[in-house]
C-alpha cells in the first residue's frame, strides 16, 4: 500500500519547464534556482507559506517579472524574451481583476477582441464559455452586480476563452468563504480535466494543493523544497519542513543502528523498529535521522493490551474533539506525540495512561539530523 502512487508518473512532453530560474528583489532572493516541469494537461500547484516565492514564480512564468537567470520554456519554446502578452499564459488573479467598466460578456470577450476574433465568432465562444462555467444568462451584468463566487467564475471564463497554452491561477479561491471554496475547488478540477489544459495553481492551502493537483511543488524561501504527487508529498516528504507544512506530523529524532537491504533498524528513545528506507536515500549506521509519522497512522490502546508493532507507553496530556476525529496529545518519555483517533463516536475517550501503537511500515525516514 505505501508504495502505490495513484497518479501516473510524469512521462508526457512538458508544457512548462523552468530551468534554474532565479529572481532577486534587492537583497531578497524571491526565487532561487527553481527548476521544474509540468507535463501537458497536468494540474500543477505551487505550494508554500506567504513569502516563499510561489507567486513570484507564477508571475515570472506569466512574464510580469524578468528572471535574473535561468530559462522558461512554454510548449518547448523559450519565452524569456517574449513580452507577457505573447506568452499564451492567461492568468486568473487573486482579486479577479475584472474590468469594472465592462459587462461580464465584454470581460470574457476581451481577449478574443485583442486576438482579432470577429464579433459573431466571439459572441459564440463567449456564450459557450459562460455556459461552461455555469454563468449562462449573466452576460449583461456588471462585475459589481455579481457575488464573489460568480466573479471568480467570470475571471476563470475570461482566461479560458482565449485557450491559453497554460492557465495560471494565483490563489483564485482565497477570497471566498470555506464552503464555496470547496465547491469551486471541485469545479476547477473538473474543468481542467475536461479541457485537458495545463494549469499552474498557486496556493498556501495544503488541502487545496493535495485535493487538486497532479504535481505539487513545495517551496520555501524561494527554493523548491520538493516536487511530487500529493501522495508523495504527504507520505514521503523529503524534509521535515515539507512534512510539517503539509498536515500534522510527529517528527521523532532517531538514530540508524543497522542498514539492511532496503530497510534500516532505527532507535528512538528506548525503542527499536525496522523501517523501510526511501529509494533515494543512502543511510549508514550511526546517522541521525528523523522519523515522520502521521497522527492518523498511530493508534491508541488501553495500557497493557496486546498489539502488533512497537508500543509506546504514555499518558494523555490533553485532547480535542474535532468532529470527524479525536486528537490526543500523549506524553511519552517527556516528549509529546499527536495521535488521531478516527470516528471518535465508536469508542469511549482515552484518558490517563495509554499505549501508542506504531506500525513500522507507516514510518517514513527523513535524512535530516535533528
> Least distance in Å: CB of 355 to another protein?
54
Residue 142 engages another protein in binding (rule: CB under 8 A): no
> Least distance in Å: CB of 231 to another protein?
32
Give the phi and the psi of residue 237 in degrees, each rounded to 5: -60, 140
Matching residue, cell 468532529 = 323
Residue 93 engages another protein in binding (rule: CB under 8 A): yes
358 in Cβ contact with 295 (< 8 Å): no
Burial of 259 (0-12, 13-18, 19+ CB in 10 A): middle
Q: With respect to another protein, which residue has the nearer C-beta, 168 or 246?
A: 168
Residue 231 engages another protein in binding (rule: CB under 8 A): no
Tell me the three state secondary structure of residue 251: strand
Per the document, the length of the chain is 370
> Least distance in Å: CB of 43 to another protein?
19
The x, y and z cell numbers of residue 231, run together, are 501522495
55 in Cβ contact with 211 (< 8 Å): no
Count of residues that bind another protein according to CB under 8 A: 30
157-196: contacts with another protein (CB under 8 A): 158-159, 162, 168
Taking CB under 8 A as the criterion, the residue among 3, 81, 261, 343 binding another protein is 81
Taking CB under 8 A as the criterion, the residue among 39, 48, 53, 111 binding another protein is 111
* Adjacency order of strands within the sheet including 364-366: 271-276, 263-268, 250-260, 288-293, 364-366
Q: With respect to another protein, which residue has the nearer C-beta, 159 or 330?
A: 159
Residue 218 engages another protein in binding (rule: CB under 8 A): no
Taking CB under 8 A as the criterion, the residue among 9, 50, 76, 101 binding another protein is 101
> Least distance in Å: CB of 49 to another protein?
21
d(CA 336, CA 162): 53
Q: With respect to another protein, which residue has the nearer C-beta, 171 or 214?
A: 171
Taking CB under 8 A as the criterion, the residue among 49, 77, 114, 193 binding another protein is 114
Taking CB under 8 A as the criterion, the residue among 97, 195, 310, 338 binding another protein is 97
209 in Cβ contact with 200 (< 8 Å): no
The contact mask relative to another protein for 41-80 (x = CB under 8 A, - = no) is ---------------------xxxxx--------------
Residue 202 engages another protein in binding (rule: CB under 8 A): no
d(CA 327, CA 336): 12
d(CA 342, CA 312): 19
**Which has the closest alpha carbon to 108: 153, 152, 146, 158?**
158
> Least distance in Å: CB of 26 to another protein?
13
38 in Cβ contact with 44 (< 8 Å): yes
Tell me the three state secondary structure of residue 193: helix
Residue 26 engages another protein in binding (rule: CB under 8 A): no
Contacting positions for another protein (CB under 8 A):
62-66, 81-86, 89-91, 93-95, 97-101, 110-111, 114-115, 158-159, 162, 168
Amino acid at each position: 500500500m505505501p508504495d502505490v502512487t495513484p497518479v501516473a508518473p510524469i512521462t508526457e512532453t512538458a508544457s512548462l519547464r523552468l530551468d534554474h530560474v532565479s529572481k532577486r528583489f534587492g537583497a531578497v532572493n524571491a526565487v532561487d534556482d527553481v527548476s521544474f516541469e509540468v507535463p501537458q494537461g497536468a494540474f500543477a500547484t505551487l505550494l508554500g507559506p506567504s513569502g516563499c516565492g510561489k507567486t513570484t514564480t507564477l508571475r515570472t512564468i506569466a512574464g510580469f517579472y524578468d528572471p535574473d537567470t535561468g530559462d522558461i520554456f512554454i510548449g518547448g519554446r523559450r519565452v524569456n524574451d517574449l513580452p507577457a502578452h505573447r506568452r499564451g499564459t492567461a492568468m486568473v488573479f487573486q482579486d479577479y481583476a475584472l474590468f469594472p467598466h465592462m459587462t461580464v460578456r465584454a470581460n470574457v470577450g476581451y481577449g478574443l477582441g485583442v486576438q482579432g476574433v470577429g464579433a459573431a465568432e466571439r459572441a459564440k465562444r463567449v456564450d459557450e464559455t459562460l455556459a461552461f462555467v455555469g454563468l449562462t444568462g449573466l452576460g449583461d451584468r456588471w462585475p459589481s452586480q455579481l457575488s464573489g463566487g460568480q466573479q471568480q467564475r467570470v475571471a476563470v471564463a475570461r482566461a479560458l476563452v482565449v485557450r491559453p497554452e497554460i492557465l495560471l491561477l494565483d490563489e483564485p479561491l482565497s477570497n471566498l468563504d470555506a464552503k464555496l471554496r470547496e465547491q469551486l475547488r471541485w469545479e476547477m478540477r473538473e474543468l481542467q480535466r475536461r479541457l485537458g489544459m495545463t494549469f499552474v495553481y498557486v496556493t498556501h492551502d495544503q488541502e487545496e494543493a493535495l485535493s487538486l493537483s497532479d504535481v505539487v511543488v513545495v517551496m520555501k524561501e524561494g527554493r523548491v523544497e520538493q516536487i511530487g504527487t500529493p501522495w508523495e508529498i504527504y507520505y514521503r516528504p523529503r524534509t521535515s519542513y515539507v512534512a510539517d507544512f503539509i498536515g500534522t506530523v510527529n517528527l521523532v529524532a532517531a538514530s540508524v543502528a543497522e542498514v539492511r537491504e532496503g530497510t534500516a533498524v532505527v532507535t528512538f528513545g528506548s525503542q527499536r523498529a525496522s523501517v523501510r528506507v526511501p529509494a533515494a536515500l543512502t543511510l549508514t549506521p550511526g546517522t541521525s535521522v528523523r522519523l515522520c509519522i502521521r497522527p492518523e497512522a498511530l493508534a491508541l490502546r488501553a495500557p497493557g493490551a496486546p498489539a502488533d508493532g512497537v508500543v509506546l507507553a504514555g499518558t494523555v496530556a490533553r485532547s480535542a474533539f474535532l468532529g470527524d476525529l479525536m486528537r490526543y496529545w500523549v506524553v511519552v518519555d517527556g516528549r509529546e506525540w499527536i495521535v488521531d483517533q478516527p470516528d471518535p463516536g465508536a469508542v469511549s475517550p482515552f484518558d490517563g495512561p495509554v499505549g501508542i501503537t506504531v506500525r513500522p511500515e507507516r514510518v517514513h525516514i527523513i535524512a535530516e539530523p535533528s
